[in-house]
Chain A
């Protein structure tokens, strides 16, 4: 019996420890959850590049508004953007005329069916154009090294609303463009703004609704 009592006591102790630990587990798991969530929420340029680099391919519609000093009113263009990792990018203008720019690796092809023009050139031979192409392609590929090669890169905002600001360091490009701003949320690029040295601007909005 004594033994039984002792047994009953021990049993009781174990239950109590279990009880306490259960109580403890609640705040512990809470703390753990908060910490983990914090880590997931840490949103810097490396994190952005990392999520962007996971995108394999995509096709989106865009509209572009160009405001130029020479023109009485801004010019509106629209078309599609097609991307395939790691280095294929196509910008297809559908309105107000048709034109297609295809970048694949080092080559850029310009096609205008109405004019019967098809021209291919090497990006490396045209540094300004190359820099321009990488302002979109490098973020899509999550390739920070290439971005840094052509631009002074700064980053800000939250995961839901981030901003990548690019100031050209490539001399030919710097002569033409003052800065490029890319806005997005999560792994989506929403808007690309370009301001030229002469004051002209271009704003491209990418639609993500199907």
Chain B
């Protein structure tokens, strides 16, 4: 009964844990976890934009084919079909101009919205010039279209209110639909209802587009290209999942074969998974209980870090001697195992103090997971293990650990030297060790990024890479500041410092501006006098413009427009995406297109503190850099904790050095080589290096484990060979992946694990009993 008790407790805990993990743990992909807890407004807006901004919800479509008419036809039909789909807020391919309601709104409010409204324009001379221009338009065939508005709008304000909307109307039209300037691609834009990080919704949207395309395409030879953040995440998710599944199947097969050759027992192989599974479950639950959910990245990176726990059962299995119970074996290796677990846990515990939610989650996950895996190994495994594990004697005897280690120990000066060499190599390269470009983390292949850039350029869609954030206490303040900003930006757009910009104030003037315009409109009697004078010299009939006089009189006393006035028009979305409330503040976004000279732009903005220039790529890279820096700093604290623990645990500074040196050498050499290979280490490499250090320390501890007999030392060596061989194999297989995440993790760990075991063997303690 006493033997069964721990197993019973373990089973209950596992069941509870599984319940928590499956039903009570929301997996979030919320990037705010990777914001420092004291993030500034710019960072908050950055993350908000990445998550919910219009840019994150755009899917760009391009149709390629030989016949222009086919492309136009498919574009039209595809758009029609997708407009019926509720996954999309908007489908644009150039066929839908402004709706009747939109035009009416602009027309009715033309005297508040037109930037050309001024006193001069409504004076006798201004009106005369306007009438002459209208007369010339009447003569042209296109005059037919404008005649409708002429009696009400002789000064042409309607056209002025249309202008900003026309300018953003996008690419050139061929056969009535959007085409790239070279005419090779028909272009469409879809705005999804859900943001890019909602993978399920994005996958549905992408599938809807592909299905609709297949349905309308018929037998025309047209190809569909799809781009945008949503399409990327769906695609990346698919390739990562596919690669991960394929490679882990391969891994499982390879490692099962290896373990089967050594242990020749299915039960033992399956038992080997128990500590790892327990650790992963415990880690998930701990994070879930600690912060109410787990981040997807924590789960992925955490599972990687738990790789150390895969070694624990091997240590146990290989040390079981004939005629010895598993309980005795466990008590033999437990001191070493315990020290390894404690130092690792201490290392990860340092992450708990991180200012980044994401990093502290990772610390909790890894520390709890390893602790749970260790405890499982100590208390549960012996009860589950078969009475006897028969390792082939030939293998155990044939290893000659003493001889092997004695030979290797000649090279014991190599690892410390390599540390210095690696540091010299890293600092000597002159480049930064870390690559903090957020693009380095993106699993999207370069060719797809190039396509995305090309499509955005053709569509004239802002990539929302660079923007200016205007803040203020209210919408009116933000609009006024935006109008001031416009006066700064317009010359820059004209002189080519950038291609253009967008802002809410282009469409919605501030109250100040609107009332200014209103007061520029003349009183009815004055207007009538001015108009009569102007009409005398033209061939228009004297009473032709009575409706105009009525409209101006009305506009002079009409209520001013604000951000709510656009409800019921298709302008609402645009205004809302550019001007919104953020907590206490109002925020205006000013996306910039094609910034050629960022320095000049920043210099022009420096004077005003209410304007924040934001380069999304730079800012997100900065966030990443802060995250990475904090991780590296905490790593320093971890190493200090590890050194102290090892010194006390091994009761000698020499023993501590034997353990720390191979670990450090493996990490530094791997870092140096990878840095040269990849041109800088990314966050993936960093996490992998943490695993390398964990593995290295664990192996070094076992090499320095006090052993009674040569046979036991052979068993230890066997255990370490199995561990490192399986790590190198598993991560080596991962390194063959084409996905950069898997490739980075795989190559780092495979290389680091191989080096770690080699260095640890070189520095292994010469056993006194053999002397």
Chain A contacts to B: CB under 8 angstroms: 66, 68-73, 75, 77, 91, 93, 96-97, 99, 101, 106-107, 110, 121-125, 128-129, 132, 176-177, 196, 198, 200
> Inside 8 A of A128's CB, which chain B residues have their CB?
144-145
Q: Are A124 and B175 in contact (CB under 8 A)?
A: yes
- Scan B135-172; emit 1 where CB is below 8 A from any A CB, else 0: 11011111011011011000000000000000000001
Q: Are A71 and B176 in contact (CB under 8 A)?
A: no
Q: How far is the CB of B389 from the nearest CB of chain A, in Å? A: 78
> Inside 8 A of B637's CB, which chain A residues have their CB?
none
The 3 A-B residue pairs with the shortest CB-CB distance, nearest first, are A124-B176, A122-B173, A125-B176
- Scan B84-116; emit 1 where CB is below 8 A from any A CB, else 0: 000000000011010000000000000000000
Q: Are A200 and B176 in contact (CB under 8 A)?
A: no
Q: Are B139 and A66 in contact (CB under 8 A)?
A: yes
Q: Are B138 and A66 in contact (CB under 8 A)?
A: yes
Q: Are B142 and A110 in contact (CB under 8 A)?
A: yes
Q: How far is the CA of A73 from the CA of B541 in the complex (A)?
A: 9
Q: Are B140 and A129 in contact (CB under 8 A)?
A: no
Q: Are B544 and A122 in contact (CB under 8 A)?
A: no
Assess whether B648 is interfacial by the CB under 8 Å rule: no
Q: Are A70 and B540 in contact (CB under 8 A)?
A: yes
Can you spell out 28 A-B residue pairs with CB atoms less than 8 angstroms apart? A66-B138, A66-B139, A68-B147, A70-B138, A70-B147, A70-B151, A70-B540, A70-B544, A71-B138, A72-B540, A75-B138, A77-B139, A91-B141, A99-B140, A101-B140, A106-B176, A110-B142, A121-B173, A122-B172, A125-B176, A125-B177, A128-B145, A129-B142, A129-B145, A132-B144, A177-B144, A196-B144, A198-B147
> Inside 8 A of A125's CB, which chain B residues have their CB?
94-95, 97, 173, 176-177
Q: Are B147 and A72 in contact (CB under 8 A)?
A: no
Assess whether B306 is interfacial by the CB under 8 Å rule: no
> Inside 8 A of A106's CB, which chain B residues have their CB?
174-176
Q: How far is the CA of A117 from the CA of B495 in the complex (A)?
A: 21
Other-chain residue from B139, B145, B176 in contact with A122 (beta carbon distance below 8 A): B176
Q: How far is the CA of A200 from the CA of B148 in the complex (A)?
A: 12
Assess whether B689 is interfacial by the CB under 8 Å rule: no
Q: Are B539 and A124 in contact (CB under 8 A)?
A: no
Q: Size band of the B side of the interface?
A: 20 to 34
Known: A71-B138, A71-B541. 10 other contacts (CB 8 A): A68-B138, A69-B541, A70-B151, A71-B539, A72-B540, A75-B139, A97-B139, A122-B173, A124-B176, A196-B144
> Inside 8 A of B173's CB, which chain A residues have their CB?
121-122, 124-125
Give A121's nearest chain B residue, CB to CB: B173
Q: Are A101 and B141 in contact (CB under 8 A)?
A: yes
> Inside 8 A of A121's CB, which chain B residues have their CB?
173
Give A91's nearest chain B residue, CB to CB: B141
Q: How far is the CB of A145 from the nearest CB of chain B, in Å? A: 15
- Scan B112-145; emit 1 where CB is below 8 A from any A CB, else 0: 0000000000000000000000011011111011
- Scan B457-476; emit 1 where CB is below 8 A from any A CB, else 0: 00000000000000000000
Central interface residue in A69, A101, A125, A132, by most chain B CB within 10 Å: A125
Q: How far is the CA of A68 from the CA of B139 in the complex (A)?
A: 10
Central interface residue in B94, B144, B177, B539, by most chain A CB within 10 Å: B144
Give A122's nearest chain B residue, CB to CB: B173
> Inside 8 A of B94's CB, which chain A residues have their CB?
125
Q: How far is the CA of A196 from the CA of B147 in the complex (A)?
A: 11
> Inside 8 A of B97's CB, which chain A residues have their CB?
125
Give B140's nearest chain A residue, CB to CB: A99
Give B145's nearest chain A residue, CB to CB: A128
> Inside 8 A of A101's CB, which chain B residues have their CB?
140-141
Central interface residue in A70, A75, A107, A177, by most chain B CB within 10 Å: A70
Other-chain residue from B136, B144, B540, B544 in contact with A97 (beta carbon distance below 8 A): B136
Assess whether B72 is interfacial by the CB under 8 Å rule: yes
Q: How far is the CA of A146 from the CA of B176 in the complex (A)?
A: 17
> Inside 8 A of A93's CB, which chain B residues have their CB?
139-140
Q: How far is the CA of A177 from the CA of B638 in the complex (A)?
A: 83
> Inside 8 A of B539's CB, which chain A residues have their CB?
71-73, 75
> Inside 8 A of A176's CB, which chain B residues have their CB?
144-145, 148
